[in-house]
A and B are shown apart, each in its own frame.
Chain A
Amino acid sequence: MPQMITEATLRSWMERLGPRLIALSAGICRDRHQAEEIVQEAFVKLWRSPPDAGEIAYTSWLRRVVTNSSINALQRTRRPGTLPEFSTDPAMRTPDRPDRECDVQEDLQRVRAAMDRLDAPKRTILMLRAYEQLSYEEIAEHLGVPLGTVMSRLNRARAALMEEMKRDLKRAEDEPQVFRFQKYKPA
């Protein structure tokens, strides 16, 4: 019989895992607002029917619920997810910053755009590995697939991601220089 979760426990887990789960969900469904709703729903589910194993299983349980809900949400809407515009510190975009920082910003935007174009399963496995930093064994358990499948799926996802980034880079190089400059003007 699972133990009843108190308000304090629920608050504590929301503070500890909420932001990470929102990022995971947003990384998959590419919709920050929807990600927040999905994570809220996951915590409601946790409170109503917590895992039998107790608090030790909350993290993996929540991650699994959020992952599945995010994929389902994406499949329901059947539209390519796109996150809103870059929300990093505006100081990073000042024209007098070093070129390297400008390159980092470009690369980050590129990887983000590439992720937007991937399908949900590829985004999911990439997020679980790159952001959640799960081991292959944990990913296999999380997705319910054999260990070898994890590596092959990750291979395909990474190849697709790099392909999309290269395509984006090629498009950027083909663009006139003035356009690139305007893109990084201060907001």
Chain B
Amino acid sequence: MRPMDCTDIKVLLSGLIDDELNAETRHLAERHIAECRACRDLVDEAEAAHQLLAAEAEMNLAPDELPAGFAGAVLSRTVYDEDRRRGPLTGWVNWLGWLAAAACLVLAITIWALDRRPPARQMNGGPSPVVQAPPPSQPTVIHTAYTTPGRSWISDGEYSPGAPAPAAAEAAVPDEAPADATGDRGAPDAAVDDAGTAAGMAESATIGDTAPDAILPWPKPSVAITRADVETLDATALLLEMLLRGDARSFADVESIRRIIEYDELLAHLAETRDRLEPELRPALFAAESILWRIVHGPLSLDDVQELRQTVAESDLAARLEAMSRRWDPAGAL
């Protein structure tokens, strides 16, 4: 490699001072500097300037510590600014907001699902949601025992569960009937006249009508109260009255009540009816269910029976259930 001259040193000056040259280049440069006074002075001056510059910056530019108010100014624009924007309760507020939103969502879904919910038996592919009628082969002895003139909940002889639905049952659902109340059922099961009025429905849903699933008018269009519901309420009211008026010194009436409940699956019907009712009406059905459940599952002593009677009497439960059924069946046509 050729020896260096003064021009080379000027080009490599910074690398020489900063020790950024490779060993061979540095060696050649140092050989020239050793022989050249001018280049030696140049390197000395450059090194001195470098040292002075570093010292000047260190002494005059760099503060020993942060200037007063420096950190505060930065923090006020960063951490504290964010805190102020968020506020002290932001975290909680956010959580509460999300919680409230989630609760609203759950509530909305629940209401929607309840409104859409078809009668349980249809969901399971079972029979229609009306009160389960006894099989045709079985006599309706028990029914007869608990019917009252004009208010039978399952009418003897006229109710034919096995009979095909009349033409009216195939009729279209009226416009005001909720689409989802019938849409899930797979087949129209409501026999309602074209007008869709309460009178028309009552007329078409009189005892003897073979359209058992007729939808009765309901204040809330999204809720469909069926004839089965009305009959269930009536039946429960009758059984509670039977309990009230029965013989308190024996279990004979209680046993009859139990058989009726079991035979007609009244507890299941009662639960379905309760689900379709307005929330404020449900406690009464809960009470009735609990009484019937105790009669079905026992064991009961005479004192227990007396207690149940007392409960029914004090809460006027039978009358309340009957009033409920009258609400949807004002004419008592069922």
A108 contact from B14, B60, B70, Cβ within 8 A = B60
CB contacts under 8 Å to B, within A4-45, are 6-7, 10-11, 14-15, 18-20, 22-24, 26-27, 32, 35-36, 39-40, 43-44
Across the interface, which residues of B come within 8 angstroms of A162, CB to CB?
A: 45-46, 49
- For the side of the interface on B, what is the size category? 35 or more
Question: Interface stretch among B75-83, B191-199, B207-215?
Answer: B75-83
Whether a CB of chain A sits under 8 angstroms from the CB of B303 is no
Whether a CB of chain A sits under 8 angstroms from the CB of B10 is yes
A10 with B50, Cβ < 8 A, contacts A18-B70, A22-B67, A158-B14 known: no
Across the interface, which residues of A come within 8 angstroms of B20, CB to CB?
A: 135-136, 151
Contact: B62 with A22, CB < 8 Å?
yes
Distance of B73 from chain A, by nearest CB (Å): 5
Contact: A18 with B66, CB < 8 Å?
yes
In the complex the two chains form, what is the Cα distance from A98 to B193 in whole Å? Answer: 120
In the complex the two chains form, what is the Cα distance from A117 to B70 in whole Å? Answer: 29
In the complex the two chains form, what is the Cα distance from A135 to B19 in whole Å? Answer: 10
Interface of B is mostly: helix
Distance of A140 from chain B, by nearest CB (Å): 11
B18 contact from A14, A15, A136, A152, Cβ within 8 A = A136
In the complex the two chains form, what is the Cα distance from A152 to B45 in whole Å? Answer: 18
Interface of A is mostly: helix
Across the interface, which residues of B come within 8 angstroms of A159, CB to CB?
A: 10, 13
- For the side of the interface on A, what is the size category? 35 or more
A19 contact from B18, B60, B66, Cβ within 8 A = B66
Across the interface, which residues of B come within 8 angstroms of A40, CB to CB?
A: 70, 73-74, 77
Contact: B58 with A19, CB < 8 Å?
no
List the interface of chain B (C-beta within 8 A of A). Answer: 10-15, 17-18, 20, 45-46, 48-50, 52-67, 70-71, 73-75, 77-79
List the interface of chain A (C-beta within 8 A of B). Answer: 6-7, 10-11, 14-15, 18-20, 22-24, 26-27, 32, 35-36, 39-40, 43-44, 47-48, 83, 86-88, 107-108, 110-112, 115, 126-127, 129-131, 133, 135-136, 151-152, 154-155, 158-159, 161-162, 165
Q: A40-B73, A83-B60, A108-B55 are in contact. List 19 more A-B contacts (CB 8 A).
A: A22-B61, A23-B57, A23-B62, A23-B63, A35-B61, A36-B67, A43-B78, A48-B78, A110-B52, A111-B49, A127-B53, A129-B14, A129-B18, A130-B50, A130-B53, A136-B15, A136-B20, A155-B14, A159-B10
